[in-house]
Chains A and B, each alone.
Chain A
Amino acid sequence: MTNKTAVVGIGQTKFRSKRRDVNIPEMIYEAVKMALDDAQLEPKDIDAIIIGNMDHFEGINFSELWTGIDAAPGYLKPVVKVATGGTTGSSLAICGYHNIASGIYDKVLVVGWEKLNEGGATTGIITAFDPVWERPSLAGALGPLALMAGMYSAKYGITSEQAAKVTVKNRSNAANNPYAHLQMPDITIDYVMSSQVISYPLRLHDCCPQSEGACALIYANEKEAKKITDTPAWFHAVETAHYYTFGTDDKMYDLPTATIASKKAYKRAGIKNPIKDLDVAEIYEPTSWSELSWTEALGFCKPGEGGKLLDEGITQMSGELPVNPSGGVLSTNPIGATALVRVAEAAIQIMDRGGKRQVPDVEKALAMGFGGSLWTEVMILGNEPLR
């Protein structure tokens, strides 16, 4: 029997291309202070801290000794660091869950960040891969994502226009999110379609930006959560599915790990029909094409019908299952924080605190992390503890 676990405090910075005005501890402090204030807690109230980013990007192995002690604030507390590539944020979120659900701690702080423009993002990503077999031809994330988009398009007849429509949806959603990096209320399909092809079929605006910022969440068990807030966002399921050693070991489309992880999560959370039973989804779409494919893999529609799902308006803000009201990864991508922001935004929707990006009457929300050799993490949150 696991303890009920909830998100009770949320902090995030305004994400931008560059945060030259702050160093990393200063940037982390902004998100952590906001989360603590949100939960009306002091550092002394936190039992343990989980921190994470990908060291490759800044070229500094930020140890707990720096970020975990001052800004996080981990003085005399247990601190663990997590780094799993694109899924770093969701791995952080799931580790936090385990710390509460297991009964070991009552309240934990989870912090993810990245200052992606202090180094080379593509270069940093390449260094995460095998030096002998993968690095020589790998062009960071976008090369493989382009391969995936091309194969997906060829198999199902998904068009560039449908992909562009995802960018239009997400970046206009981002205009309703004060923390989002790229806010483009007036973006058009033509604007996306006329941007430069950077790795066929990906155009510049089919791709996520490089962002800097931090996200912090406070989790509590049932007893503590009720003291802190009237609207905790309860975890109903967390699932991780890893795949083969190399991303190229299997065909690179249809993201099987998203199907495996989401099926397990739905079963655990009692979700029979994700379109009807979920009220909102925050998914990790590094490209516009990815969102179409991932909506299929997550069971929102059948394989090959991601474009149709979008065309029917189901994933729009006014649709039956809005996908990425925050603007998603296409609008904001601070890698070590990116998947944690998905959880934060899912919790914001559950708590009815989304302002202009709020979906009405959210009872169940899905958050997803994606990364590495095509692995996936799925979390389901709800407005009541799962009984």
Chain B
Amino acid sequence: MSKTRKGQEDIFEIKWKTDLPYRYSIGKLAVKFFEELKENKKILGSKCPKCEKVHFPPRAVCADCFIKMTLDDMVELPPRGTLEGFTVVNYPFTDPSTGGIRPFPYGYALFKLDGADTYTMHFVNETDVTKMKIGQRVEAVFNDELIGDLTADIPYFRIIKEEE
């Protein structure tokens, strides 16, 4: 318990830090996604058997149709897409996944993988906003060693510059 004096008031606070380890069942489709990522360097989405909308991230139910998607409905998507929006996060905060400050600044973007009907977000390897623009092509950069973890295996998407 700490006590500090501020103005006329006595302010009492207690401070604590808590380690709260969790487990999270990621679901059948995500298990398949990470298996294919680790073993075959593939990115899978899920395609609704009724409306044929291709979802990324893959998920078990199509919101538009309320139809269940199974492992049989998973489709491969190319590791490339088109930039729809971008920013550079330039403020400090504690990352709840690590308990530490997430390194910043970092490039953060919204893009659509080729063949997907939904958008997705991930890190991008650019922290100069003048070098990013909507419509640029992006490509997943894979780590040499794949372990079945989204940001370890695909640390970021690379922005393909026009001259390339």
Chain A interface residues (CB < 8 Å from chain B): 20-21, 59, 120, 122-123, 126-127, 130-140, 142-144, 146-148, 150-151, 154, 196-202, 244-246, 248-252
Distance between Cα atoms of A59 and B24 in the complex (Å):
19
Residues A59 and B18 in contact, CB atoms below 8 Å apart = yes
B90 and A20: CB pair below 8 A? no
B63 touches A132 (CB 8 A): no
Contact between A127 and B87, CB atoms less than 8 A apart: no
CA distance A252 to B134 in the complex (A): 13
Query: Which of B69-77, B115-123, B137-145 interfaces with chain A?
Result: B115-123
Report whether B89 and A199 are in contact in the complex, using a CB–CB cutoff of 8 Å.
yes
Complex Cα spacing A95 to B65, Å: 28
Nearest CB of A to B122, in Å: 5
The answer on a CB contact under 8 Å between B118 and A248 is yes
B residues with a Cβ closer than 8 A to A are 6, 9, 11, 13, 18, 22, 24, 26, 30, 55, 57, 59, 63, 84-91, 93-97, 102, 108-110, 118-123, 129, 134, 150-151
B96 touches A126 (CB 8 A): yes
Q: Is the CB of B150 within 8 A of A252?
A: no
Q: Is the CB of B24 within 8 A of A143?
A: no
Shortest Cβ distance from A344 into chain B, in angstroms?
27
Query: Is A151 a contact partner of B96 (Cβ separation < 8 A)?
Result: no
A199 pairs with B91, CB closer than 8 A? yes
Contacts of A200 in B (CB 8 A): 87-88, 90, 129
With A248-B118, A248-B121, A249-B118 in contact, is A147–B18 under 8 Å at CB? no
Residues on B with beta carbons closer than 8 Å to the beta carbon of A151: 84-85, 110, 134
Residues on A with C-beta less than 8 A from B91 are 122, 139, 142, 198-199
In contact, A147 and B110 (Cβ under 8 angstroms): yes
A71 vs chain B, min Cβ distance (A): 18
- Who on chain B is nearest to A18 by CB? B11
Q: Which residue of B lies closest to A196 (CB)?
A: B90
Contacts A136-B150, A137-B108 given; does A120 touch B93 at CB 8 Å: yes
When distances are taken between beta carbons in the complex, the residues of chain B under 8 Å from A122 are 91, 93-94
Check B85–A150 contact: CB distance below 8 A: yes
By a CB distance below 8 angstroms, the chain B residues around A126 are 93, 95-96
List of 4 A-B pairs having minimum Cβ-Cβ separation, nearest first: A146-B87, A122-B93, A147-B85, A151-B85
Smallest Cβ-Cβ distance to B94: which chain A residue: A123
Residue of A126, A135, A150, A202 contacting most chain B CB atoms (<10 Å): A150
Beyond A132-B26, A147-B87, A245-B63, 15 extra complex contacts between A and B, CB < 8 Å: A122-B91, A122-B93, A132-B57, A134-B121, A136-B150, A138-B121, A147-B109, A150-B86, A154-B85, A202-B87, A244-B118, A246-B57, A250-B119, A252-B84, A252-B110
* Chain B contacts for A123, CB-based, 8 A: 93-96
List, in ascending order, chain A residues with CB within 8 A of B97's CB. 131, 135-136
CB distance B102 to A139 under 8 Å?
A: yes
Shortest Cβ distance from A243 into B: residue: B63
Residue of A nearest to B119 (CB): A248
- Give Cα A387 to B24, complex, Å: 50
A156 to B59 alpha-carbon distance, docked (Å): 33
Which residues of B have CB within 8 Å of A132?
24, 26, 30, 57, 150
Complex partner residue of A150 from B63, B87, B90, B102, CB under 8 angstroms: B87
**In the complex, what distance in Å separates the CA atom of A87 from the CA atom of B94?**
24
Nearest Cβ in chain A — how far from B126, in angstroms? 11
Which residues of B are found within 8 Å of A250, using beta-carbon distances?
118-119
What chain A residues lie within 8 Å of B109 (beta carbons)?
A: 147
Pull 27 A–B residue pairs with CB atoms less than 8 Å apart, ordered by A. A21-B9, A123-B94, A126-B93, A131-B22, A132-B26, A132-B57, A136-B123, A137-B123, A137-B151, A139-B93, A139-B108, A140-B93, A143-B108, A146-B87, A147-B87, A150-B86, A151-B110, A154-B85, A199-B87, A200-B87, A200-B90, A244-B118, A246-B118, A248-B110, A248-B118, A249-B118, A249-B119
In the complex, what residue of chain B is closest to A202 when comparing beta carbons? B87
**Minimum distance in angstroms from B137 CB to a CB of chain A:** 17
Residues of B within 8 A of A144 (CB): 121
B61: min CB distance to chain A, Å:
9
Closest to B129 in A: A200
A127 to B109, CA, bound (A): 20
- Given A139-B108, A154-B134, A199-B89, A133 and B96 touching (CB < 8 A)? no
A126 to B35, CA, bound (A): 26
Bound complex: CA A134 to CA B97 (Å): 11
Q: For the complex, what is the distance from the CA of A133 to the CA of B24, rounded to whole Å?
A: 12
- Residue in B closest to A126 when the chains form the complex, CB atoms: B96
Given A120-B93, A135-B97, A143-B108, the answer on whether A251 and B84 have CB atoms closer than 8 Å is yes
